Amino acid sequence: MNPKANPKSKFSSPGYYNGHPMQPDDFGNYNYGVAANALGISLGDALWGGGYGAFSLGGQQTWWNVLGGFDSWNDTQMIFNGYFQLYHK
């Protein structure tokens, strides 16, 4: 579910996760990283999977972000943070 798809959704506004401010799409990318690690998916495959998702779904691409599969740099950072659970208490 894309929370930005419906601007009236309560999930379309920014929020906090353990004191860290996040935009709606940040929650999804962070949790994608957590899930990838829990499932034993390598960080590289998770990042490239996120890049493939952005490319195939018409998302934002950052062509210099080779590490993140050309996904936006912010999305790559949030997947990385989730993978290593950097916001976990």
Residue 28 has pLDDT above 60, yes or no: yes
3-state secondary structure of 35: helix
Residue 63 has pLDDT above 50, yes or no: yes
Residue 83 has pLDDT above 60, yes or no: yes
Split at pLDDT 50, 70, 90, the class of 68 is confident
Residue 25 burial (10 A CB sphere; 0-12, 13-18, 19+): middle
Cβ within 8 Å of residue 85, ≥6 positions away = 34, 37
Report the length, in residues, of the chain. 89
How many Cβ atoms sit within 10 Å of the Cβ of residue 58?
A: 7
- What are residue 57's phi and psi, to 5 degrees? -100, 10
Split at pLDDT 50, 70, 90, the class of 37 is very high
Can you give the pLDDT at residue 1?
Answer: 42
Split at pLDDT 50, 70, 90, the class of 44 is very high
Can you give the pLDDT at residue 3?
Answer: 46
